[in-house]
Chain A
Amino acid sequence: MAVYIIQSKLENLKAVRDWLGKTLLDFGVNPRTRHAIITATNEIVTNIIVHTYREDPGGKVGVEVDYQGNTVEIRICDFRPGFRINLKSSTDSESGFGLRIVKSLMDEFFHFHDEKGNNFVLRKHVPTRVRSR
């Protein structure tokens, strides 16, 4: 398992993608699946920065990645208790593309809110035979 925490600034998106790409490479995930996971994660982190924190750089976003069996699981969270993000309206506000991309690329996707803030879980099944460095 690996964890990465950023300040809620859009300029940090590239750092998240780079970190996640390297972590998935270390896990042996194939390039196509890496790109899918990175793209979906990027959409959720962007959503949190823009809609939870309204780009206030004082906020934080956490990304956790784990690879168990043949499934990569990504957990993305904000740290804003009491603010329940409206996923549909926030991702549909510009184009609706963000949510569509996440749902298309991931095998499982859900969102819940707890006492710490919003949590997003993405899961992608990786066929063992295409795992590679």
Chain B
Amino acid sequence: MPPAIRCTNLVKRYDGRPPVDAVRGLDLVVEAGECFGMLGPNGAGKTTTIEIIEGLLTATSGEVEVLGRHWGRHDQDIKQRIGISLQETRLSEKLTVRETLQLFRSFYRQGIEPAEAMREVSLEEKADVWVRKLSGGQKQRLAVACALVGDPELLFLDEPTTGLDPQSRRQLWDIIRSFRERGRTVLLTTHYMDEAERLCDRVAIVDRGKVIALGSPRELIASLGGEHVIDFSLLNHNGPLLDPAEFSRLPAVESARLDGSGYSLSATEPHLALPALLGFLKQRGCELSSLTTRHASLEDVFVTLAGRHLDDAEAQPS
């Protein structure tokens, strides 16, 4: 079975002064049947990439193959087999949910009944309600239903849960999971770590137009060397800052780095690392102002690789 998506050395340059390279040599392979996430900060080039794969933008250079076919040669063929939810689409406010789905259904040679699409996204009760009257989460579910109504093999979701409340997010995750459980393929973009961790079989971490890490969430976290993180900061610490490298010599500590005004250690076994850390700090005459331990997340992977947090990592033009 060919991969659902294959991108080779994708480049997208937006003309301007100065020209902006949104995507700079991105490679991606999404296997059929997996839920694949592109994770990265705003401006990392995720939307540009996904829109190139969807055929809405043309790449400056590079190859794109979708379901074994190419844009420009098999457009109709590809469009019949994919479903798309864009980052923001405002559907017609004065059409009902059912009417909106009927409209979208009519574009596809084969697909599912609007009623079934509504059932998939739990909007049956809103069938005859105007789109205007829907909540943000319901609108987003309708957008996904519009993508499902053509019964696609491959589903694209660009930031599907951005701006939604926790309950709506979970509802959408369920929809995506059930789609994937039917053996279909999903490519989604997100800047939420937890979303990528819970939903995706594999994740590509994207930063500044390139894939900087690739693998299952578990693999990526494991690549940090320790599955636990110890965050701490020191009280009124005057004098020279402690060199993070000193901490990495402690038992069970794999790596250490400065994080804002505190320190962040990556540890394999906290029950060994913690007493050692406390002893070391006492010996240096330092007092703790806070200390927490937690499981490592994809956020830590991003911070380790990109040297900054996802939230404050707006892509700087360089």
A and B found bound together? no
